[in-house]
Every structure is written in C-alpha cells, then in structure tokens.
Structure 1
C-alpha cells in the first residue's frame, strides 16, 4: 500500500465499523474494507470463543462463507493459532510449507500461498486473529504488515464492545442461555449486590433509551402518532413565525422536516417497529440511530450534514414521548440503579429501602456519587463503559463492588458463589456490631485509634454508630459540589460547625478545598489535557486566596468554643507552597481576632502526603506543621503512574506494590523523627490486611470509610503487634504486589479472621 493512502483507508474502515449495528456487521464490514484497502484476495477474521477457548472462523471475503461460524480450531492449532498464541504477526510467502500449517477442509484456503495474520488484542486479552491471503507467493511488505496491525488495534475496542452488546442481544433472542456476560468497570464502593436493574436516562438522549416491549401495541401506535402530530404542529408554527425572515431555501427545510414525519418516511419505519412489539421510544431511537449511521458514512459533505437535521428531529419526537411518560416510577424491591452518569439527585428518587446497588457508565471512584455510595454502604461500579445498559431494563444482574465487575445472566454456579458471598457479608456485618464500644487494641495492648473519612451529613450518624474516634478526613469539597455557586462564609461555617459539634471533643480533620483532577465544580470547571498533573488541590486555592481565606475563616469560626478542628492541606509538593498556605492561615486567624474581638485558638495544621515529592520532603514538612497524613489513593496513583479511575489500567493500580509500602514506611519514620504524629486516610487504611502492616510501620491513626471500621477493628484485636512486625519484615523482602497480597490474605486466615479476606470469584464461562 502507498503510505499516503493508509490514513484515509484506515479512517474509512474505522468509521464504517463504528457505525455497524452488531458484532457480525462489524466483522463483515472489516473484512470487506480491509481486503479492498490492501488489494488482497482474502481477508478473514477468527474470533476466540471464551467458553471453549477455540478460534472460530467468523467472517470472510474470499473464502467459503458457508463455513462461517461452523469451523473452529484449538487456540494452539494452525497458523491462526500461532498468531494468537505468540501474540505477534506472522508473515509467510509459502504458508503450506510452515510446520504449523493446518488445512481447514471446506473453507477453500488451499489455493492461497501468501499469509499475513495479526492478533486482535483488547486490554491484554486476545480476541482473535485478522488474516489476509493471496495466491501469488510473496512476502507482504512492511507497509502492509504495519497497516494490518494498525487496523487490528483500531478494531479491537469496537469488537470488544460489539461482543459485550451482542451477548445481551443474543440472550434477548433466547439463544445460548448458558452463557454469562461480564462487564468491567472501576470499583466505586465495596460489596455484592444482586437485584433488578432500573435504567435512568437523561432527557431526549437518543443513545440512552432503554429497550423494552410495549404493553399494548395499538395504544402505543396511537400514542406515537399523537406525538408526531405535536412535532408537526411545532414545525408549522416555526415556519409561520419566521416566514418573513427565512429565505426560500431555509423555508424549504421546514417542509423537509414535515415530509420526514410522514407515514412513508421516518414515522412509518418507527410505526412498523411498534407493530412488532417495541415501545415507541425504543423504536424511534433505533430508527434515528440507523439513519444517522447511514449519513455519517457518506462521503458527500452536504449529505453528512443532514445527520444533524435527523438527530434534531428525533430528539424533538423523543422529548414528547418522554414528557408524556414522566409520571412517578415504580422501583423493584431490590433496585440496582444504572445510568450513563449517575448523580446524587437520581439516587434520591429511589426509596432507600429499595436501593441495593449502583452502576454508572461514566465517572470514577472519586465521583460524588461514589463517595455518597461508600458513605451509605451501597455496592457500586463506576466507569462500566462497555455495558450495553439500555438493553438491561428490568433484568437481574450481579454487581461486584470489590472488583468493579457487572455480571449478566450468570450461570447457576456463578450465581451461587455470589449469593454465598452476599450472605456471608450480611452475617459478618451483624457479628461486627458487638465491637462498637470496644477499643481497637492488639492482643499485646497496643492501642490504634480508628477514625473515619466523611463528607456528607449522613456520614455523621453512620460513623458514630460504628465507633469512630475522630475524623481523619472531612472532604470540604462535597458541600461545594452540592451547590450551583461557591457557598458563602456563613454557609460554610454552619456546615463545619455541625461536623465539629457532632464529633466533639473528638478531633475533626478538615481538608481545604480539593478540586481539579476528576473533581470539577459545575460552576468552576477546570478543563485540562492532563488534569491529575494539573491545576488541582492547593494549587487552585493558592491561586485564588479569596476562596482559601473564606474557607479557613469559616472553619476557625465554626471551631469557636469547641477546639477540635484540625486543618489539612492537600497536594503539597514543596516547602514554599506549604509556607504560602500557612501564611494565609495565620493571616485569616489574625483578621478574625481583630474582627471578633476574641482570642480564637489557632487550629493544628497538617499536610497530606500524596505526591512523590512530599515523600522525600516529609521531614521538612513535619518541621513546619503539627502532623502528617498520607493520602494513599493519590500517592499510589502517582508513584505507579496509574490513573486509578481508568478501567484499562485498573489491574496495575496496586496498593500493595513494594514501592508504595516503602514510601509509606519512609513517611512515618521521617514524621516521627521530628516528633510528629502520622496518620493515613486512604482506602488502604480500611483494608484489614493492610491495617496490620500500617500498624507495624508505626502509624498513629488509621482513617477510613465507616463501613470498613469494624472490620479493621476485628483484625487488629485478633493479632499482636509483635506478629504484625514479623509480617511486615517478611513483606518488605518481597518483590511483587500479588505476592504480598496473597501472603497477607493467608495471614488473615492464620489469624482466624478468614471472613475478612476480600472475595474473589473465579471466572466461569
């Protein structure tokens, strides 16, 4: 292939496969376009069948199509098996002479000598093999090989998504009932939920309409026609309103809209689908999206622009359909709420006693809804981008909030395993209630204070009910997220006062405003190419002292007469940065003394250690502040260069990574060298196995989600500090996170608290 044609060919192939309707369509388009682009005689795709591990002849241009879906080979058989097993291209000019050559009778490949195969890989999993062949004996050149590898990489994500969607569609059609479908996301809140889905969708979004059957076909058709007439009248009114201002060509566009609504156009296609039993919204969505895909693949720019008109018309009709169906929704007894991007207000619509789980297609473990879910103890999966959620309305699913997975149509064995885990969780929670008023003390009398992370008013009662001894992290950004503007100083004072009073005389550690990264205020958006390394945390508030000063003034006013406030500074990476923040705090304190005429106590100020630079300057920070607190979530992310909210790299975000544990030990040693207390307030603190190691390292306080507090208390009351230090010494000699985690899980079993081992469910095809 000529290099100058490669990008254009690739663009067209990707565009067409992205608009294909289902997995088979994706494959058929791919083999057709690749064969044409490369000028070969054959292009075929072999897909790996997960349950059997075999490579199935799935699509072809040039071989016998009658054998598609009927012929397969073992994962290590033939040239295709070689490509899949080695996970690299295989380029041969005389294929039949290769030792691994395997003739597949009937498909007609015996005439073709030249062979080029490349693996199709998505998230480290081999999905299949893409092959081109031709009769002439020749070795494909470097450009050909590079092009096919590029096409394969582009196809992988599309095929993975189409497979995920196809597993649901196939099951809807009543086929292959034994297969389970698993969808991967990010763990948002721990726990197992088994329940029925309730799909929540944004208004007039054609791509987020749930698929369902209508109850009465004739009634649904009449309802659709009423909405069509309403849109027609809107179009006519629009034409009359602007009749004098529109030129004839623009006026003609109104007429085009009206014609599209005729029975022999869009409206007729939707009506036909309703007649087959689909509800009006789903039928409309399918018809409009199908037309949009057709327009988007056209080469004529004028025709491509008409896609905008079709989309606009479709949204107008959908708006009428949804408005007429906007009555109160009934939620299942065990509701798992699923949506494109869930919000706190959506959660509030579901009766609390019905809500057992949450799945958000977008969002991260730090999204407001995930924070809320953790505080409420609701298992949650975020970022499940491949989940075809619109097709799951009213279906039973299993949600694994520990590992960030969603299971549809699970096998009886898989269902049984999750049911056992769920029942074990319920029993464990009841058993832990007896620990509420007992101190967290090791078997050899070493005391470990257990604090909580909070952000919502609802966290207060839950935390105190679990026996919290203080607040190690109060997320002050949460009240900011709940408003449409910055809260005033008085509004903040009232919020902070409630927290301080509720826990008094126990300490409450308030982190100054921490926005940026994946936490953006709707009225103060921060858009950056690399937000986690950008304008976030203390960097924002130092650039906006008017925000910072108002906040710390509100904190100190709220602390009057209580004296249990601690202020914590996020994302500090240098001494000058710290000193600038301290100077503003002292300035706010001095202003309040003059303003109020009373000698307010200046609170203890601490630094969050969450970037690598802070690890190496922990001692310098400790000389200037009253305490250090490790934010293990961000510290792990930055040390390993892994976005912890990205499902693609979730498996290499490893809290037990040796580098992370060494950094944690250095921080506590350096803090103690300056006589300062060192706490930790990340997710690691709430991990029972990790709590043993943190205790052995010498951390003075562990702060965690209220749900995890009883679990940590149980394990620390079951082990001696001497044994904890022995385990730490052993762990510090290990070289991999997996080795350390397995070792510590065994330690939990040996300690007699095997019920705290994080549930792992083996994949069952």
Structure 2
C-alpha cells in the first residue's frame, strides 16, 4: 500500500493541472482498491456546492454538471460531518439521494471520505461497488490516507487553476494564507523574481522579439555542448567506450530533433527562452519520473541537469532590464534584500515570498520601509503570477488572486483609509506619548539596518529597544571583524544619541542561520541558538561586546541585552565575559563606561525566574514573539499553524503580567520589544500591566501613540482586569476591538476580508 500511495502521489504531483490530477486520482485509486467506481466531488467556494468533477465508472457526461449542497445526499453528509461514511447498502441511508443521470443505481456499497486541507473541506473522495458489502477497515484506512496525502496537492492545483483562468471568466477567486511580514494593504501587478538556474521557479512571459530569444537559446545550447564535450575529454582515459557513449546520449537530448525542437517551437509562439525551456524540461522530467523502470526513471536526473545548465547560461546572457509597473508586487520563492534594491522605491507596492518568515531579513527590511508583505505563502503558484493583478493583506498574512469586485472594493477602502490615517498621525510625531490622565509611556523602536534610522526618527522614536546585531552578520560572507562591528555600532549609537540604544548580542540559530556558520538541527527553535551559541564561542561574544563598548566611547547611550536566557548560570557567565571585555578596553586606554545590562525574557523558564534575573541585571525586556511561540508550542512562521498563534492568548497575558510584577518587585524597569507592543490594542494592555517601555517597528509607532493618547490609565487597568478573566483569545481580541472602537480608533481594526 505504501508503494501504491507513493506512486499515486508522484503521478498527481506531476499532473499538468487540476483536472488532470483529479482524473489520475480516480483512475489509480479505483485500480488500487479493485472497486468498480471512484469519483471526486470538489467544493465550489462561490456557490458552496460540491461539484461532480471526475469519475471512473459513472457517467462522465455529468462531470461538471451534477452537484450537491453540504448535508445533501451521501456526499453532502460526508462533507458536513467531516468524517468517512461506509455503507453496505447506500440507498437505505436516510440521506441518500438518487441522481437519475449519473449512473450509480446499480452500485450499492458506498465509501466516502472528506478531502480536508488546513481545516477547509475541499471535497469528497468516493468509491462504490455493485456488491452489497461494507468496505473493510484496511480499505477505509487506505482511502482516508489517500485523501490526506492528496489534499495539499488538490489545494495547490485548485489555486493554480484559478490563476491560469481568464480573468473575465467566472473562475472562483483564490485566497492564499501565509504569515504577516509587514502590515498594510497593497494592490498591484506581480513581477516574479526567479532564483538562479531553478527550472521550477521560472515565470511564464510572452515576448515580441522572438529572434533574440531564439539566438539566446541556441547560444546557451552551444555553451552547454562545449562544457559536456570538455568533461567527456577529461574523463576519456578513465571511461570505457560504452560509458563514454553516455555523453553522446546526453548531448543528443539537446538536439533540434529532440527536446531542443520543442523549446524552439514554444519560442516561435512568443514564449521567452527561459520560460519555454522550463516548460519543456519539466514536462520531460515528470514523464521520466512516472516510469516504473528504474533505469528510465533515472534519466529524469539527466534531463534536469541539462535543463539547469542551459538555464544558467540563458540567465547569464539575459541582460535586459526588467520593467517595473507603477504598483509592483514583487513575488518570489525566497525573496532577498538584494532583490529589493533593483526596484525603484516609488514603484514598490508590496512583497510576497513563498518561503521565509516574519523574522526573515527581507521582512525586517520591509517593515522598516513600510512595504506591505506576506511571507510563507506555501500554496502560491508564484511562477504563474507574472503580470497578474494581486492584492496583499499584510495585516492578516493573506494573498488574494482574482478577487471578487466587492472584495476588491473593500481592500481599496482600507487602502484609502490607511493613507488618510497616516496623514493624520504625522501631526503626532513631535508630541509625547501621554495618556489622558497624564501617564507618560516612552515609545522606542526595533532596528537592524541603517535604513531603519531615518524612518524611526521621523516617526518620533525616543530610543531603540532592540537593535538586531545579527543583521550585519547576515549581510556578510564571513564574521565581521571587531573593527567592522565597532563602526556599524558607532553609526547606530551616533544616529540616535543621546537617545538610548539597546543592542542585543548575536542571536543566531532557529530561523536565522549564517551561511558561513551553518547550524543544522532537527528542531532548531529548541536547539543551539541565541546566548547558547555565543557562550559556547566566547571569542565571538567577546569581540562583539568589545566592539560595542568601544563604539559607545564618548556617547554613553549603549544598553546591552542578552537573548534566549533560560537559566541564572547563563546570565552569570555572560556578565563575567562582559566585565572582562570592559577591563580589556580600559587597559587599552579607552574610556568606556559600563553600560546597563539587560536580559530578554523569551522562554517560559525565564518567566518563572524573572525576579531572580532582575536581581542580577539592570532591566528586563520581553521578546513577546518568541515567548508566545514557546508558551503555545506554535511555530509563528509556519502558515499551517499560524491561526493557533495568538498574542492575546490568556496564558501569554498572564506571563506578561508576571514578568512586569517581578521586575518592579526588584525596582527594575521592564520593556517589551515584540510585535504585541506595536499593536494598539496590545499597547493598551501593556500600559495597564505597568510596562515602562514599548518598542516596535517604526511603522507602528504613530498608531500606538495615537491609541495611548486616547485612553487613560484607569480605563486601561479596568479593561485588563476584565480580559484576564476570559478564557479564549478570540473573545479577548473582540473585546479589545470593541474598546478601540468606543474610543474613536475603529480605523486601527483590520479584520480579514473574505
């Protein structure tokens, strides 16, 4: 059964489209189970009906015509209950409904299982048989397993179908979930960035100059032939005549009489060379991969290698300048900061990355630039989006393709509202953040790049609550020297002086791996990261701290913060190294004062030892993003469980309150530098808990200032006492939205648009 499952999944993955995938499934499942009928019904999101989409054994003329509502008939019952239905005699079931034209009157045994992807019922997979019998446990288990295996493939194929459909057709809109990267709404035209020599990431484009594309393709073929012939010559003395003949076969694949001819044909139809090559090569790779014979299946590797070689030369020779529309939505499998630099800032409207997280370098940069971004959109058929109209919801982490007119109108309203709000907030830049009853709340910013500095100061930042020192490390191909670090840190400290700048010591590991210092672990978020790495490598830690202390000479606005602290001994060891660095600096004749030292509270153990930690350091700062992740056991960068990540979860709020009380019990300040601090409703609760500093991305600062200036501390404390009695994050979130609305801040509420 495992082999059958694997073969069917491979074949479906290689399908050219949704209908092809469905037909493969019903044919192969019927054969594998030895039944007489296999059919698939898919839900139409627009009509909320389950459409008869593919069959082996029933009337094919009813495909696309017959349909049922949820709860209607046996198929609708399976969909409504979201569980299998196994019947010996289907027509005796009270929900049975007879379709006279579908041809199932002679089939009595019925087994239907729901097709579910991320809690969304996509459809129902059904097998039927004339014999009156109940399908046995192994058969039911096989069909359930098959349904679970194929759900993601069907979801992806359905979205791809929506993308490929003509925009004027009645095709269903597609909504793809991801992870919020940077807040905001963007409506624009997709421009796809393809990585170097990846056949599967080449966007499809049409061109006018077909002659130039043909010339480029033939030149690339010539270069690849040269490479292969050179390799054959170099190995000539080590290979037998039979082995050497393999190179002739290799070269023959590219001949005009073979794959090369198909590529040329597509180019002559108007496809650009890279897209034509990608399309033909992928088709042949899938053809070989579907073959049962192991020797022939291995030819897929050869074809892929050849295609990659040709593509690399095509990309190298393609020096044409990309045209960026007025409202460019940059799309890619894994966007990088360098790809942003190629686009004029005034044309960049938004970003979508299939891979990556809210902590990715590109997401950090996007927040600093104020560019709406969605990361981790794993189901997005990004290579098909070139030139398409796309809507990004950076608040909720969703991408909308082919949105209905009413949905598009809602997003346009939000976009206009955001622009008006930003204009209103500009007047608050030089105003202090003081509540209606006179409580002062300092608002600081999170930074990592010099690009953050100007924007932060323009928004009225009073200090830096988190400077991510790992960013300069990520931008290099080696560890920066102590002097290079000193210059970088000096620039940050000078830019904000005399405002305080809190520099976090190197925080790598988890989803932040240095290319020249790889950390490969099965569970990186619970592995070697943060302070654990730098304490194991004191040479890295000491050099960084010395650079910070030297950079602070004559300024005195440095604060040092230790990440991922789990225990008291870690703090003691780090403090010893910091004091050692300070002594070394003094011995060098540099007048460097000892800065304030703080600890980040990011893991549950630190919450319960917060008071003991506060005794040893000058301040505490909660990293609410990681703390929420660890408390809830939810990877916040994983789109599949993103809906389980709630910063307003009752457990999170209780932990935040514990930390604030513990710090104040020792007479120490406590701040917070997670995304929660940058949410107006979250800021109100943190104010009530007694947090002394809120640190956020610069884009969020004006909204938080506006929110806090519209409330008084007594109201906020009353609200806090109310929500801590609630057991559900959604209930808490709704109560906070209601509070904002009653205080004239309904424009800050961004609910998902369906």
| Same-fold status (TM-score > 0.5) | yes
Partner of 1:123: 118
> For each residue in 1:30-61, what CA deviation from the matched residue of structure 2 results, as whole angstroms up to 9, or x when unmatched?
11111111111111111111111111111111
Partner of 1:176: 170
Q: SS of the counterpart of 1:679? A: strand
Q: 1:634 aligns with which of 615, 619, 626?
A: 626
Query: Where does structure 1 differ by over 3 angstroms across 4 or more consecutive aligned residues?
Result: 216-246
Q: Deviations over 1:668-721 (max 9, x none)?
A: 011111111111110000101111111011101111111111111111111111
Q: CA deviation at 1:302?
A: 1.4
Counterpart position of 2:753: 762
**1:664 paired residue number:** 656
Residues 500 and 558, structure 2, Cα contact 8 Å, conserved in 1:
yes
* 2:532 maps to 1:563: no
Confirm or deny: 8 A CA contact 1:118 1:149 kept in the other structure: yes
- Following the alignment from structure 1 to structure 2, what is the Cα–Cα distance between the partners of residues 371 and 479? 13
User: Does 1:104 find its partner at 2:96?
Assistant: no
- Partners of 1:527 and 1:443 in 2: how far apart? 51
What's the offset of the Cα at 1:26? 1.1
- Uncovered stretches (5+) of structure 2, i.e. residues with no partner: none
Alignment of structure 1 residues 218-617 onto 2, 5 Å: 220-221=213-214, 223-596=216-589, 600-617=592-609
CA distance in structure 2 between the aligned counterparts of 1:737 and 1:271, rounded to whole angstroms: 57
Give 1:719's aligned residue.
711
SS in 1 for 2:152: helix
Report if the CA contact (8 A) 2:162-2:402 is conserved.
no
CA deviations 1:598-633 (Å, max 9, x no partner) are 553211111101101111000110111111101000
SS in 2 for 1:111: coil
| 2:51 matched residue in structure 1 | 56
- Map Cα deviations across residues 332-353 of structure 1 (whole Å, 9 max, x no partner): 2221111111111111111112
Q: Indicate the SS of the match to 2:722.
A: helix
Give the aligned partner of residue 730 of structure 1: 722
- In structure 2, C-alpha distance between the alignment counterparts of 1:219 and 1:371, rounded to whole Å: 39
Contact 1:417 1:761 in 2 (8 A): no
Whether the 8 Å CA contact 2:216–2:317 is kept in 1: the answer is no
> In 1, distance between residues paired with 2:585 and 2:2?
64
Q: Aligned-pair distance for 1:19? A: 1.3
TM-score, reference length from structure 1: 0.96
CA distance in 1, matches of 2:610, 2:219: 69
Is the contact made by 1:93 and 1:137 (CA closer than 8 Å) also made in structure 2? yes
Conserved? CA contact 1:432–1:714, under 8 Å: yes
- For residues 233 and 474 of structure 1, what CA distance do their matches in structure 2 show? 51
Q: Tell me the SS of whatever aligns to 2:616.
A: coil
Gaps of 5+ in 1: 1-5
Q: In the alignment, what sits opposite 1:3? A: none
Which sits farther off after the overlay, 246-255 or 71-80?
Answer: 246-255
Q: Deviations over 1:468-495 (max 9, x none)?
A: 1111111110111111111111111111
Query: Does the CA contact (< 8 Å) of 1:53 and 1:74 recur in 2?
Result: yes
3-state secondary structure, aligned to 1:262: coil
Shift of 1:761: 4.2
User: Is the Cα contact below 8 Å between 2:553 and 2:591 reproduced in 1?
Assistant: no
TM-score by length of 2: 0.98
Q: Are 2:4 and 1:13 equivalent residues in the alignment? A: no
2:52·2:66 contact (CA, 8 Å) conserved in 1? yes
Partner Cα distance (2:150, 2:573) in 1 = 51
Cα distance in 1 for partners of 2:628, 2:255 equals: 59
Following superposition, the deviation at residue 251 of structure 1 comes to: 2.1
The superposition leaves residues 223-249 of structure 1 with CA deviations (integer Å, 9 ceiling, x where unpaired) of 534443443444445444544443212
Determine the C-alpha separation between the residues in 1 that align with 2:264 and 2:373: 38
SS at match of 1:338: strand
2:309 is paired with a residue whose SS is helix
C-alpha contact (below 8 Å) 1:680/1:703 kept by paired residues: yes
- Output one character per residue of 1:634-667: Cα deviation in whole Å (capped at 9) or x when no partner: 0000111000000001111001111111111111
Task: Give SS of 1:414's match.
Answer: helix
Q: Distance in 1 between matches of 2:310 and 2:452?
A: 43
2: CA distance, partners of 1:427 / 1:76: 46
Q: Partners in 2 of 1:323 and 1:587 — Cα distance?
A: 51
Out of 646-655 and 230-239, give the one that drifted further: 230-239
User: Equivalents in 2 of 1:91, 1:603: separation in Å?
Assistant: 70
Deviation at 1:517, TM superposition (A): 0.4
Pairwise CA distance, 1:15: 1.5
Choose from 12, 35, 41 the match for 1:40.
Answer: 35
1:140-179 map, 5 Å: 140-171=135-166, 175-176=169-170, 179=172
The 2-side partners of 1:519 and 1:725 are apart by 37
Task: State the Cα deviation string for residues 474-533 of structure 1 (Å, max 9, x = none).
Answer: 111011111111111111111111111221222111111000000011111111111111
In 1: Cα distance, 2:163 partner to 2:328 partner: 19
Structure 1, 547-556 or 584-593: larger mean CA deviation: 584-593
CA RMSD of the aligned region, Å? Answer: 1.5
Residue 21 of structure 1: how far off its partner (Å): 1.4
Helix, strand or coil: the match of 2:47? coil
Greater mean alpha carbon deviation, residues 270-279 or residues 341-350: 270-279
Q: Decide which moves more: 219-228 or 274-283.
A: 219-228
Partner residue, 1:86: 81
Contact 1:418 1:761 (8 Å CA) reproduced: no
